[in-house]
Each structure stands twice: as structure tokens, then as C-alpha cells.
Structure 1
């Protein structure tokens, strides 16, 4: 009896030893966040981010920051045969997931999502986290939605009475609304700048914070490092997305700051080196022009399109457009920002600008 017990214990020991030996571990490089760390070890952040956090939650710093010199467990590769370790249970804060396994597989292989599919995206907030795909007009398209500034940098600041309007908060709210609209049309969407708490808000005066991250990584204060970080995220994702999607575009959403008396319409910048970027900016402008013609026919639209050698436009691999939503100092332009119905209209028109460009590309 004792011999049998020893044999069982020995077999168990060998099994555990083999499991530990097979477990891949590594230490982060300077400046790496979870997403870049996973990409370096051939793991998609979208697929393995939550597993990584679950495996290493005791070793992570505040806001899931990686610590230098600490060894982290890399999630095992998930195999379709079911031989890999069982993934950690999903949390309420998990990244977006599609409701059925069949649709997940289809999304990864052909870039299409079925009408009726429900996507869960916690970044939109509890009330709006469930997104139902209601159209396939943007099936096969992939977008990188970036709201300007964030983290330690609020961007431009305006005032309405005692209320401070921070550019990063209003750009982020409109970016979330745009991302949700794009998902409803069947597109794949990466939200590059993220705030785990805010969600889509209907308040006129949005509360200010420094919580924003670049897909989970802390945003540097240094301007060049900050811009390069978001470009790196986009470019890394694009290298994989280009294999599955026929149309990939990035958008950078900002609010301008000029003299208080200067009223401006929405205007667009494009890369001077990419014809697709210029065409996208013109399609955006034409969409807004037609919307103003319909909803405010006596006002007209004075938004412009111009080429600029902006850092994010020249350092981002997919074609992109840079949008200025108005002058945060001007009383009339501020209405475009503080009214939630106007923020939703801006997001809808930006989506329709993408749709116009996508149709033209096809």
C-alpha cells in the first residue's frame, strides 16, 4: 500500500514539475506596458490581456503597471484543440468580447461580424457596454480611434462660468461615441486612449481626471514620447489587422484653442504623403458640409481640409485623419461640446464620413 502511495506522489510531483517548467516567464523592458510586453512575446493584447492580469495580479502596480525587475508569467497559448490551460474567468472589466464562439472565429478570419451579434465593451460604461451589430455597412473595416492628450496632459482648457472644460475629456467622450457607432455598423474598433471609469457621459460639464491610459499603459508627460506611444500601439495592431481587414484607418480627435472671439467649424488635417489620408479628410469634410446643409441650411459650413506634417499623421502606418472639433474658448463652439446631443451628432457624422470613404474605396 505504501509503495502505491509513493508511486502516486512521485507521478504527481513529475506532473507539477513539468507544468512549472513549461510556464513561460519574463521581465519587462524599460517603458513597457502590458500590451507591448505581450506583443513582444507574440501574444495579442486583445486576446491575452485579461489572462495576464489574472495570472500576475499580485505583482502588478497601481492601474496594472508593470514593475521593473519583476518576473511575470506569460499566458499560455490558447489552442483550438483545447489542450492549453483553461483561461481565467472573465471579469466585468474585461475587454470587448463577442457573444458567441462562432462569431469570434468569423471575426478573426474574415473581419466580418454577423448582424445581431452583441459585443461587450466596458469602456462605454454600464448602461451602454452592450453593443448590438445592427448593420454590415462597415464589415471588413478596422479603425483606431484616438482621443487627444489624456493622462497627465489635459490639452486645451476653456471656461464656462466656474466650470473648466478640458480638451481630453470632451475628445474622449466623442471618441467613445464614435467607436460605438462604428461597432454597430459591423467594424472592428480599437480604442487607443482609455479610461476604465468614465464611460460615455451625458453631463454638460465633464469631470476632469488623469486616469487615461494608452491601452492600459501609463501616458508619458513628454509630448514626443506620448505621441510615439500611441503611434506604436496603432502600428503594432495594424501589422496583424491588415491581414484580416481590407480597410484600416486611424482618427485623432482634438479640440482647438484660439482667441475667445474666434468661432470655428470642424476642420480636418491629412498627411501630405498619403493620398488615402487626403481622400479621407475630404470625405469627412464633405459629409459635415452635407449635414450642415440639411440641418442648418442658412448657416453654411466653413470647415476646411489641409495637409499638415503632424507627428501622429507621419508616424502612423495606416492612413489617418486629424480632427479639430472647434475652439474650446469660444462661447458658440462650446455648445458643440457641452450638449451631449451635439457630441452624439459629431460622433455620428464622423462615422458617416468613414462610411462615405469606405464605400468609395470599395
Structure 2
């Protein structure tokens, strides 16, 4: 039995998609009934779903078969696609951890209080004392820093519902980031770092945290934890010194109103690699905007321009930095290359797991 039927059910692929796949509706119905697919059918469906053929062949571990304690910010029992993606990502993280094998030195802070003030405090400690990055610069190199300083590998995965996942197992620490735009992925990465620092302490028995939507979690039971992770992410990416320094520069170099405007916020967002919404809320939390001001400004920008990004483009605000998401994965592979040469690890399989192209 293959994993194909589970994939079709989770993605809710109806008979109407058969033509786009390249098979008949009756044949698709047979596959739903656990008929054995041909090699060509697996290839066609994998191309349609934009996944590797292997994912449709090898069943994923679910339920009691899982090796890992699963925690999440959504009710996966009621979300078949989210649960399927969560199990698949857990399987991937488990295999990557077994294959890489080297430990992570990323710290864990026991019983850390979950308040906005403590989130900012932790982000400042982490930035200054662990990452050794000053408080005025953006950190586009965050994926590289996590690997170089702690041996923590952050890598991309394909997922529609899940945004990211953080994972510890026997001393290793990994982060999976769903492929989105750089803005969302960087924020998700910082969010998952928070989970590793304060939520996942289990080094011996596996534990994973799955986030379906880092900005709007649907599970009320973890709302406090998710709020803390978002506050940590925002303050890590936009430290107060960097924000004030950028505003000072803008007011010094441009003729305009002294009060904070959408232009200032959009400039901060692009400078530090966040969304307009994250930058605006950061300003509001620091008292630079009245309560509710962030949402009001963002709504007005969307009404006039369609999106904050279009607004920034119209005003010719400097483009964002780019992020090298492949750096941790490629350097991790170099680190285990002796195992590849000895045949203990498949280089092709690792490229597939880490979403890397063969060079």
C-alpha cells in the first residue's frame, strides 16, 4: 500500500482534477479505493501536487506510529490536510535528524515567563549575547547564524497549511520553514526559534511544535505561547535601537511631517525584512502610534494601494535584502560528507529532504 490515497484525501483532490492530472475520473476513483498506482500515475500525480514521487509511495507515520510528541497551534484532529502535513514534516525532521546526527548548542530557558516584556528581554539577550549582532542592524543572515553558532539547521519544506515547525531530538535542534516569500519565512523562522528556546526542552524524547499559521493561531489553548513567540520574533527582527535609528535617519534626510507616517513604517519594514503589519504593530507597542493606529494605517494603505508592498513600490522605497535559505542545508551536508562517501547517507535523499537542488 502506498501513501497516495492519504495524499489525495488530505488535499481533497476531486474527480474534476483528473483531466489536469492526466488520468481518467474513473481511474482517480479507483486510486481513492486503494488501487495500486502505476509508475506513470505516480509521476503524473506528483507533478500535479508538486511533491516528490517518493512522498506518494512511502506511507507517513501517523497516530500511534509517530515517534515524536506532537504539539501544535491548531486543532489538527479537525484539519485533515494540516494533520497530514504535520505528520509528513515530522517524518522529514526525524529522518533529517537521524541522518545529520550532530548536536545543536541552542540554549533552552527553563520556565521563562510568557509576557511581552519578557519576550523583548529574551530577544535582546539572544541577539546580543548569543548571535552577537548589534541592536541597530537587520539580520538577513539569521539562518546562517543559527547554523554557524549553534549547529541548528533551518530548511525549507513544501506545505500549504503549515507555516513552520521546530524540533528537538537527543540534542539536535531543527527548524522546518514552509516555502513562502522571504518576509513570511523570516518571521516564521524567528517564531520557531522562540519555541526552541522556551517551549521544547525535551532532548531525549522527541518533541515537535507545528505552527499552521504563526500570525493567527486557531488553538486557544496555546494562545499565550504563540503570542510570546510572535512578540519575540518582532523584537528580535526589529530591535528598538534599530527602529529609532532608522526613524531618525528618515526624518533627518527627508522633508515631511514629524509624526510617524505610513512611509516611515514601510521603510522600517523593508529595512528589517518584516511585513508592514509587523513593523506597524512594533511601533504601536513602543508607543509611537496610538492604540489601534497600526491597523488603521494598514487598512488605509490597502484601500488606496491594494497592499503595503505596492505602496512601498510606488514610493520607491529601497528593496528588501535577500536571504540565503540554502546556507544551513548545504553546510550541513558538507559536515556529514564523510558519511556520504562511506555510503551511510544518501546524498540524493538528503537533497530531497532539505529541498536542495543537486549541484
Instruction: Confirm or deny a common fold (TM above 0.5).
Output: no
Q: TM-score, normalised by structure 1?
A: 0.27
Structure having the higher helix fraction is: 2
More strand by percentage: 1
